[in-house]
Amino acid sequence: CPKPADLRPVNGTRVCAQLYADNSPYYDQCCAGDVLLVPPDSDAPYMPRGWSARASSLVVGTRCELTVWSRRGKKGDKHKFGA
């Protein structure tokens, strides 16, 4: 997985989190497959099409916090992730 300070796509724009579709019990094989980029200050009450219950690995950038909820529309239990 990338280090939190390394979350920058090719064009250099800052990314606050990356969610990955594939996972593995072996750490060096995690953070694979399709990637969902979360830009700074974004607010999405619903996962994008095709991502519901799909993210299995994530990395949160430095000075960022990712809050997720167990139910759509920001309902249910919530959990916060940081770098």
Give mean pLDDT, residues 1-27.
Answer: 83
The DSSP result for 9-26, as a single string, is -TT----SEEEEEE--SS
- Is 66 contained in some domain? yes
Pair type for strands 17-22 and 32-38: antiparallel
- Is 68 contained in some domain? yes
- Is 30 contained in some domain? yes
- Is 29 contained in some domain? yes
What residues make up the domain containing 50? 17-82
Instruction: Specify the pTM.
Output: 0.82
- pLDDT tens digit string along 15-61? 999 999 987 777 777 888 899 999 999 998 888 888 888 888 899 99
Pair type for strands 75-82 and 57-60: unpaired
Domain count of the chain?
1
Q: Residue 35 carries which DSSP code?
A: E
Give the Cα separation of 33 and 9 in Å (integer): 16
- Is 3 contained in some domain? no
- Is 9 contained in some domain? no
- Is 26 contained in some domain? yes
